[in-house]
Structure 1
Amino acid sequence: MGPLTRGRATRDHVLTPLMAEYHAQRASAGLIISESTGISRQGLGMPFAPCLWSEEQVEGWKQVTAAVHGAGGRIFSQLWHRGRLVNPDFVVGAQPVSASVTTAPDHAHTYNGEKPYAQARALRIDELPGLIQDYRLAARYAIDAGFDGVQVHDANGYLINQFLRDGSNHRRNEYSGRVGNRIRLLREVTEAVVAEVGAGRTAVRLSPNGAIQGVDDSDPETLFVAAAACMGSMGLAFLALREPEPHGTFGTSNVAPVAPGIRKVFTGPLVLNSGYEAPRAQAALDDGRADAIAFGRAFRANPDHPHRIQDHLALTEGNVATWYKQGPKGYVDYARAPG
């Protein structure tokens, strides 16, 4: 089960019993990747999002991981920093941070409605060790909370992705310019997480596609193949790729698929994600393009999604209006199929 933002935590970003029920209902996925989980106050910018920077949040997550394990599943925590996609409302008026001085397009969702994104400032070199430490500490908190592992979120236009792509990284130092430099922050964060919790408990998520949330790259094939090769040298648990077809959740992907090139250089388990239905997923496994497929949106309204695939049963259509609302409606009230 791929990561799915649901917005059911408290305003203090603490998990609730309702969230434990939701995840336990979907434990037949085998492995659940948690919804994006903030590593720090600086990186948080989504209402009612869960986080992992305090003991109270660790205690909240313990009820979720225990429920998933009790139902026979496994769960990884996805570690997240939104970078320039953080509205100042979430950080007591502070300016958001990014690779460079840029402004994201569109609007941020806040507790006070939609607001334009603010211009981000460039993170200083001397701030990066603290950022890396935030990832390391969040990874430790995740294991303390009972997670089976963690996934570093380097996809969909968030902070590490903003460093990775030349459309948002205009720096003039060792974290910019050539591909090897732009990969550096991803490498350093992942190395820190591996050092803290072990390579076998560490995964990474990439989105080797065209422009996403205003972040683009002039040569995604070269960039993401190099990033995957770097990740492959660490012996990770798996590498997950979100690579949408031409009409994906975050708009269109106007570049050729990069996954085939990544498959050649990343020899560990490779997980593909975005818009898969059962026949196409099975074909990707059969011809060796992937070792697993992560399903996302289908799990929202089908807690028994694996059973429905196995028995060729119809999927329930989800109610988009309830995806990010609080409360049980459209969250834990979807029925399982008979049988």
Structure 2
Amino acid sequence: MSRKFVWVLSAWLMTPWVWADSYVLPPTGTELVGQLQTIRASKKDTFLEIARRYNLGQNEIRLANPSLNPWLLQDGTEVVLPKWFVLPDAPRQGIVLNIPEMRLYYFPPPRSGEPARVITHPVSVGRMDWATPLGTTRVVAKVKDPVWVPPESIKKEHATEGDPLPDAVPPGPDNPLGKYALRLGIQGYLIHGTDEAKEFGIGMRVTHGCVRMYPEDIERLFAEIPVGTQVTFVNQPIKLGWLGEALYIEVHPPLEEHGGSYEEMLKQALSLIEGKTKGIPIRLVGSALRKALEEQTGVPVKIADRVLPRA
């Protein structure tokens, strides 16, 4: 790797962004954004509070720190903030939501004179019996202070649990949709905020299929995303990306309903590696690949180097 490339790459990684989760898109051939960060916790901290403070999801902070007790941290404990991402394998257009990662990526149209960027935020998605659908749709409406009209299926579920729901929940602090909602072309599905009682559930499979965001995140996106924006839902527990001459893998636990034994994950990873490196000689580190597939931390791991021709 040349000194010039290293300098450019370092400058790109250090570039300030509009807000904490907006990154300048890397040049063609580079597919990672952000930086892995660490903080020193206080004994008063928990993963819930740290995730909320640093705009992370519950699952991703837990996976990135598997040896720590989420509830019992000591003063000075180092906590990894997984703010380094392999971009999903999807067109860099509109919203791309990787369901097993429980993370949304928004690629706004570049503004004149400004570099292209990507905005990313943690989300909650549908639990196994109310799975968030895959495929492509669009934002068909933007609603401020939405009224929540619970579907009959959700009313029935709550009634069975002894928690009957009203026919409609007006705007306000108890509305589970929060203050902002993006209505999708798939009937009954929204990207929306949340009430205070559910803020700490962001980054988990807890919804009835909709996509739930922190209140400040949906407020920012609501202001920027126009009606008609493309929304693509993908299922990519394994992502691959180049950074210079190195190939990285990012592995998340697969959705339970889709299976995910080590053998299945290895087969999928090898297929993705073959597709990613077609015609490119690499030196694969099998032990790194195995560790990434076993640990599934959601943090990018270097698994191969491009073999450069001899001068």
TM-score for both structures, normalised by structure 2: 0.30
TM-score for both structures, normalised by structure 1: 0.28
Which structure carries more strand by proportion? 2
Q: Which structure's relative contact order is higher, taking Cα pairs within 8 Å and 6+ residues apart? A: 2
Which structure carries more helix by proportion? 1
- Whichever of the two has the greater Rg, that structure is 2
